[in-house]
């Protein structure tokens, strides 16, 4: 077996280089055409409107996101408020039960040996203004 010589394809390299040159030339030509067209007033106005429209769309997205966040916060705060209202109602019921007159009298009698005074034990003290008027 002998050594095989590998030939470099010269034609392929030239064709590839020519294609790259042609592609670059086409790109430069197209970019010049684009820049020339962008100098026309209608195109400039259209581009400005596209920019304004894009900015407006981004603003809508940001606003919607903030709206969702605020709504979630509001929902959480409303749940917290409802919890506080339930607790307040329970505390009012507890206060009502604890301040019941019958319960207070019963505790006063048990803890402090207090009794409701009889009619003959009640003494009325006249006011100073009525004493001075007489």
The CA distance from 131 to 125, in Å, is 10
Q: Does 93 have pLDDT greater than 70?
A: yes
Domain extents for the chain?
A: 11-118
Query: Residue 51: CB partners within 8 Å, gap ≥ 6?
Result: none
Segment 41-88, tens digit of pLDDT:
888 899 899 999 999 999 999 999 999 999 999 999 999 999 999 999
Segment 10-48, tens digit of pLDDT:
556 777 888 888 999 999 998 888 878 777 888 889 989
pTM: 0.48
The CA distance from 134 to 126, in Å, is 11
């Amino acid at each position: 077996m002998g050594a095989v010589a590998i030939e470099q394809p010269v034609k392929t390299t030239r064709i590839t280089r020519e294609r790259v040159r042609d592609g670059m030339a086409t790109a430069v030509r197209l970019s010049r055409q684009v820049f020339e067209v962008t100098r026309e007033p209608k195109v400039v106005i259209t581009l400005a409107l596209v920019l304004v429209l894009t900015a407006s769309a981004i603003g809508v997205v940001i606003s919607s996101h903030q709206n969702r966040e605020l709504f979630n916060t509001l929902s959480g705060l409303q749940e917290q408020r409802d919890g506080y209202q339930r607790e307040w109602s329970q505390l009012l019921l507890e206060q009502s039960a604890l301040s019941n007159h019958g319960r207070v009298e019963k505790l006063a009698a048990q803890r402090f040996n207090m009794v409701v005074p009889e009619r003959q034990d009640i003494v009325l003290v006249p006011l100073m203004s009525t004493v001075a008027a007489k």
